[in-house]
Amino acid sequence: MFKVVLADDETIALEGLRTLTDWEELGFEICGACENGEDALTMIDECSPDLVITDIRMPGIDGLELIKRVRQSDREQPLFIVLSGYGEFEYARTAIRYGVKHYLLKPVIEAEWDKALADITDELELRVKHKMQQNMLANQLLPVAIARMLEGQWAEPEEEIAEQMDCLDEAVLGWTYIHVDGSKNIITEICRKLAEAAGALFIDMPGDQAGLVVENSASTAELAMEVYTELSRNGVKGSVSIGPSVQSLRELPVSYMVAAGAAARNFFYSEASGPIDTNMDARVQLNYNLPSANLTEELMGAVERLQEQKAWDKLKEMFRMFEQSRTAPEVVQMTSIDIMLKSMELVKEFGGKAEQWSDSFDFFKTKPKSLAVLEDILRDLLNSCMEYIKQHKERGSEHPHIQVECYLKDNYSKPLTVKEIAEHFYINSVYLGQAFIKKNGISILEYIHNLRIEQAKKRLIETGETVRKIAENVGYVHYHHFLREFEKRTALKPVAYRNQARAEK
DSSP-assigned letters across all residues of 152-200: TS-SS--HHHHHHHHHHHHHSS-EEEEEEES-HHHHHHHHHHHHHHHTP
Using only C-alpha atoms, the chain has a radius of gyration, in whole angstroms, of 30
The SS3 assignment for 323 reads: helix
Q: Which residues of the chain have pLDDT under 70?
A: 86-89, 129-140, 154-157, 171, 218, 265-273, 280-286, 351-369, 393-400, 505
Type of residue at 198: A
* Closest by CA position to 93, among listed 327, 255, 341, 374: 327
How far, in Å, CA of 133 to CA of 152, rounded?
A: 17
The SS3 assignment for 399 reads: coil
Longest pairwise C-alpha distance within the chain: 105
Q: SS3 letters for 422-462?
A: HHHCCCCHHHHHHHHHHHHCCCHHHHHHHHHHHHHHHHHHH
ω into residue 494 within 30 of 0, thus cis? Answer: no
Contact 280, 264 (CB under 8 A): no
How far, in Å, CA of 261 to CA of 330, rounded?
A: 11
Type of residue at 396: G
Q: How high is the pLDDT of residue 275?
A: 79
Residues 6+ apart with CB under 8 A from 171: none
> How far, in whole angstroms, is CA 264 from its chain's centroid?
19
Residues 6+ apart with CB under 8 A from 292: none
Contact 332, 267 (CB under 8 A): no
* Closest by CA position to 155, among listed 262, 267, 73, 246: 73
Contact 70, 5 (CB under 8 A): no
**C-alpha distances out from residue 161 to 37, 146, 246, 298, 471, Å:** 35, 9, 18, 57, 82
Neighbouring C-alpha atoms within 13 Å toward the C-beta of 122: 8
At what angle are helices 444-462 and 400-411 packed, to 10 degrees?
40
How far, in Å, CA of 113 to CA of 93, rounded?
A: 20
Q: How high is the pLDDT of residue 282?
A: 45
Q: How high is the pLDDT of residue 369?
A: 62
Q: Please give the model's pTM, rounded to 2 decimal places.
A: 0.39
**C-alpha distances out from residue 447 to 25, 65, 451, Å:** 44, 42, 6
**C-alpha distances out from residue 302 to 59, 66, 295, 384, Å:** 40, 41, 11, 14
Q: How high is the pLDDT of residue 358?
A: 57
How far, in Å, CA of 233 to CA of 250, rounded?
A: 34
Length of the chain: 505
What digits encode the pLDDT tens for the residues 67-84?
A: 999 988 878 889 999 888
